Structure 1
């Protein structure tokens, strides 16, 4: 009989603790879901923003994987809240969601970003230091590629050149596939898709190391741009009507055009925008200098640094860049958290 009050007290205490734990769990905010971007600049920017949100605003975050288009669809549904590097206006999925007011592009995060088709400079100019003679001194534009398919020979498709496209699932892969048709190159070049952005990098780097001709789609900001001397091939001037045919994989008669002028922004869902005015104000101020960004990305790639580590180093070493985006007290919290 003497043990009953003790057992009862223990039970009440346990129930009280469980109730307190449940209340604490209920008060814990749900994590902000960032898209797990696979290319280097997007991965680095994601981690920079996550660190600012976590340390500066005491909010939990995580990342969810997906292709470019699937992440844009998830953002429109608020299954994702943030895509840290959104090439806004590129895909029909984004355009549709933006017109419906379901997603928003915040800021202009990287000025002078670009994308297009590239070859190593030695293909056109040669490289005396490596004793490489010019292979195609007349190569200037995508139209010139019609004469040089044999130069970019694809060992897996005899008689055709090889064009290194984006991985499947990227919006740019659709555009490049349509461009091959629009430029009359689809019968002359094999539309080669690597399995990932890393595989695309590895293939380009291997060919450049060997001094071989290689034709590929690429973009900036990236480590590759800071590492090699590359030449972008000329394309017809940007035309909005032509661009619509390039972003539509079902269009049977795409028209040639340079890609939509690049504007990199932070994509957010409507729910996130409505609920987080402080973070929206920060995201609208984000400005990553492209030269410094390319240098950071090159170092990240060369040292095989994880994006999270590279982001921590970037924030520690370049407070003059990011402190301007935040109120002083929030910037101090980020600095202390690092």
Structure 2
């Protein structure tokens, strides 16, 4: 009879250890790895999604840095699980992985996003109130740039203009470099690459604040587009075959075309899509109104907020936006942490 309590104690001890092991296992669950995007809208979207995943669903998260293409390759390998702002279909790396069923683009996160080549409006129109004359009054298209390299003079390359490209490693940097060739501008303009997205932003912003002419690649949603009066230069209509020559850095005869119409999505790996159906359902509903997003990005830039702080402010100010993506009980958990 004395053996029964002893046996019962042993069973209870074993059950207790199993329960402890189970809890420890849950706590040691590997984090969901997000790409550490280094442009503002991508960084803000990443921070918003991480807060939802962590506070709403209790999953740990982490970030890994990399260029656009390297993050897409990592996503295909499941070294990354989520890229919060994926301009899907733009790079050969993404297209190849998507065709192989290794990556998926979820939702349509920011409608009316655009990208292209821009100049300040005062370069074309002048600004009498600021004593500025029009330096390129007939500038409307990328082809017109052939007449104006001296207007956008590069101080480091006398006799040539300067085109501010994306940082190296971005898909758009390859496209823009090929466009310079396609439009016959590569001999007239120096292809200047900023070190980071923040450096590109700072250089453009600095030139505009000093009323200087500047020719640059940019995109929206961004704080800069909302801050200044800019003109996007016209390009030939989008052509899929021409686009293929622009995304291939080794193509010797690229053809001009507008960039692929923008569709911003959340990129996920195949393993993530299969393992986290509840998060997939949320990501498919994510939509960030571009006007509110640009406002949040401008505040993030002006106040020098970290993406995490900007995400908290956005979610506090726009509960109707993100609560529409979530079940009520999950939304309540996220709200409690705000």
Check whether TM > 0.5: yes
SS at match of 2:257: coil
Q: 1:254 to 1:18 in 2, by over 3 A?
A: same
- Does residue 107 (structure 1) correspond to residue 101 (structure 2)? The answer is no
Question: Hey, which bits of structure 1, 4+ residues long, moved more than 6 A?
Answer: 16-21
SS at match of 1:86: strand
SS at match of 1:192: strand
RMSD: 1.5
TM-score of the superposed pair, with normalisation by structure 2: 0.94
- Does residue 325 (structure 1) correspond to residue 325 (structure 2)? The answer is yes
CA deviation after TM superposition for structure 1 residue 316, in Å: 1.0
TM-score of the superposed pair, with normalisation by structure 1: 0.94
Instruction: Determine the structure 2 residue equivalent to 1:73.
Output: 73
CA deviation after TM superposition for structure 1 residue 107, in Å: 0.2
Residue deviations 1:12-67 (CA, integer Å, cap 9, x gap): xxxx9999876543232211000000000000000000001111101111111000
Aligned 1:103-182 pairs, distance under 5 A = 103-182=103-182
Residue deviations 1:243-287 (CA, integer Å, cap 9, x gap): 000000000000000000000000000000011111101000001
Instruction: Determine the structure 1 residue equivalent to 2:188.
Output: 188
CA deviation after TM superposition for structure 1 residue 127, in Å: 1.4
d(CA) in 2 for partners of 1:39 and 1:17? 48
Residue deviations 1:97-119 (CA, integer Å, cap 9, x gap): 00000000000000000000000
SS at match of 1:325: coil
d(CA) in 1 for partners of 2:131 and 2:284? 48
**Structure 1 range deviating more: 21-30 or 309-318:** 21-30
Q: Structure 2 stretches of 5 or more lacking a match? A: 1-14
d(CA) in 2 for partners of 1:166 and 1:25? 45
State the aligned residue count.
324
SS at match of 1:52: helix
SS at match of 2:191: strand
Aligned 1:1-338 pairs, distance under 5 A = 24-28=23-27, 29-338=29-338
d(CA) in 2 for partners of 1:161 and 1:151? 7
Q: Structure 1 stretches of 5 or more lacking a match? A: 1-15
Instruction: Determine the structure 1 residue equivalent to 2:7.
Output: none
